[in-house]
Structure 1
Amino acid sequence: MAEPLVLLPEMMCDARVWATQLTVLSYERPVTMAPVAAGDRIEEIASGLLSVLPSKFALCGHGMGGAVALELVRRAPERVVRLALVGTNPLSDTPQEAADREPRIVGAKAGRLAAVLEEDVLPRFVGPGPQRGAVMAELQEMALSLGADVFARQERAMQRRRDQQATLRRITQPTLVLAGAEDKVVPLKRQEFLAELIPYAEMRVLEGIGHMAMLEAPEGTTEALFAWMRQPLVLR
């Protein structure tokens, strides 16, 4: 049987964000979505996941899920047989980026999560295409269902995440870097930098798409993941 695939979502997202991929990719292999909300640090989240994930698995992370995926690879490279990173920033927060999270955390804890999402988060997450309004509405629904405590915890975890450049240079697994050309959360140049640090990584860019590739371009995202899953494994 083909190796199981584990999907890790962006912050404030649940299984709904991967609905198309969960359905289509499961035709050929076991596919599961693992949450990234159980911990105050990326390292804590990764440690908890390693205790419940299969002994070997393919791994695809998006955004915060990509940060967790890199930590899983750093800790247990022998368990990850292939890796896909979607809209992933491999660097730690700059001082300005860390500071920018503080008013969002304060606002969410003060009962203004909906306003924080509408004004400061979701507009950056979705590209300018015709699906923008529908995707933002779906993201808002997911985020509000998860709540302010999860938002604050995930913002803190991302604020404290480590720089993973050294991890990238050690990756030998078949790796896909999938980017939206209009990503405002992790700009294309940052994702190109990530791909350049991974030996033999393949990069694919979805034109006209923002940060939420799996919702904005579900068919293109699924096709890219199918091709990645069918690549031969690199011998260690």
Structure 2
Amino acid sequence: MLVIVGVLALVPVWIWWTYPRVGNVLFALIAWVEARRSRLKTLNVPIKGMTLATYQGGDTHAPALLLIHGFSADKGVWLGFARHFVDAYRVIIPDLAGHGKTAFVTGGDYSIAAQARRMVALLDACQVDKVHVIGSSMGAYVASWLATHYPERVLSLGLIGAAGVNLPQPNEVEALVNSGDNPFLIRTRQQFDRFFAMTMAAPPFIPEVLLAAEAQSYIKRRAELAEIFANFSDSPRMEPWLPHVRVPSLILWGREDRMVPVASAQTWLEGIPHARLEILEGIGHLPMVEATQQTVAHCREFLDKAKVYSSIRP
């Protein structure tokens, strides 16, 4: 009887221990399948001081499209979006330093300027001279830094829910951070559920086992994310440089974005000459995941026009 009781007592412990690991295996399998569907290959690209994990696909002679994910995310957020562009572009999707499969190193410098320099090094390593770039959230911050500090490398600029300017109105995330309760720095499953609810207004169905794995990953990475967050949030805001953007620019925002308020879009629109703004109703911080087809349509129309512009500009 004692043996049976002991075994039964171990069952919940075994489930707690293995459940997120099953989710991690499923995550890896789903990512592999989605990358195959999108005709993207996993390529590790050495640059000075590190190796960047990337997805890449498309004709190497086609115009290049660089997709940059946001803080705490990884290159996988672009998989469904990217499949719509591999026929016409050379698509390059990196894991930024400290994210995904690109290693975190304590004291590694995760400022926006440093992440942008790494993107230039990635382009050099891939023998890409000029690129169309689309960034999400912190990735849009990096993309705008590229466009303003390395203008000779950027053909067009797409900003999705962009971080990087002073917020024009009170914001839920900023208030939590200022109170010492950064929603990205997670200790419990309850905190992860709160964070996840803030990321998307219209999320796709995600099985519980995958959410459990993601929650465990955030808890495990808490100290790393804290250092990256401190570096990127201390970076200079973009307002002084926005008038220097000289390429076609698309600003895309979800009306229900809780991470970066939609009011911020106006700062980008007023700062960047000739920028175009599109707001998606009922959508949150990750339009390329929540409303993939709508986001693809806006970006494809924008990129088609930008390609014409880049072909005639000196």
Find the aligned partners of 2:231 and 2:136 in 1 and give their Cα distance: 15
Structure 1 pair 148/233, CA: closer, same or farther in 2 (3 Å)? same
Find the aligned partners of 2:211 and 2:133 in 1 and give their Cα distance: 23
Does residue 116 of the first structure (1) align with residue 191 of the second (2)?
yes
Structure 1 pair 107/223, CA: closer, same or farther in 2 (3 Å)? closer
The residue correspondences of 1:31-70 to structure 2 (distance < 5 A) are: 31-38=91-98, 39-53=109-123, 54-70=128-144
Letter of the structure 2 residue corresponding to residue 17 of structure 1: V
Write out per-residue CA displacement over residues 150-186 of structure 1, whole angstroms, 9 at most, x where no aligned residue. 4223321332121111221111101110111111111
Contact 2:65 2:131 in 1 (8 A): yes
Aligned to 1:58, the other structure's residue is in SS state strand
Letter of the structure 1 residue corresponding to residue 73 of structure 2: C
Aligned to 2:300, the other structure's residue is in SS state helix
Quote how far apart the aligned CAs of 1:219 are: 0.5
The residue correspondences of 1:84-99 to structure 2 (distance < 5 A) are: 84-92=158-166, 97=174
The correspondence for 1:163, drawn from 216, 237, 242, is 237
Find the aligned partners of 1:222 and 1:85 in 2 and give their Cα distance: 13
Instruction: Indicate the residue corresponding to 2:309 in structure 1.
Output: 233
TM value normalised by structure 1: 0.84
The residue correspondences of 1:128-143 to structure 2 (distance < 5 A) are: 129=202, 131=203, 134=206, 141=213
Identity of aligned residues (%): 24
Aligned to 1:32, the other structure's residue is in SS state strand
Instruction: Indicate the residue corresponding to 1:4 in structure 2.
Output: 64
Instruction: Indicate the residue corresponding to 2:285 in structure 1.
Output: 211
Contact 2:110 2:232 in 1 (8 A): no
The residue correspondences of 1:70-109 to structure 2 (distance < 5 A) are: 70-92=144-166, 97=174, 100=177, 102-104=180-182, 108=186
Contact 2:65 2:133 in 1 (8 A): yes
Contact 2:185 2:226 in 1 (8 A): no
Write out per-residue CA displacement over residues 30-53 of structure 1, whole angstroms, 9 at most, x where no aligned residue. 111122234421111111221121
TM value normalised by structure 2: 0.65
Aligned to 1:228, the other structure's residue is in SS state helix
Find the aligned partners of 2:63 and 2:301 in 1 and give their Cα distance: 15
How many residues are aligned here?
A: 230
Contact 2:204 2:289 in 1 (8 A): no
Structure 2's unaligned 5+ residue stretches are 1-60, 99-108
Say which one has the larger Rg.
2
Write out per-residue CA displacement over residues 8-33 of structure 1, whole angstroms, 9 at most, x where no aligned residue. 00112122211112211111111111
Greater shift in the superposed pair: 147-156 or 161-170:
147-156
CA RMSD of aligned residues (A): 3.0
Higher RCO, Cα 8 Å, sep 6+: 1
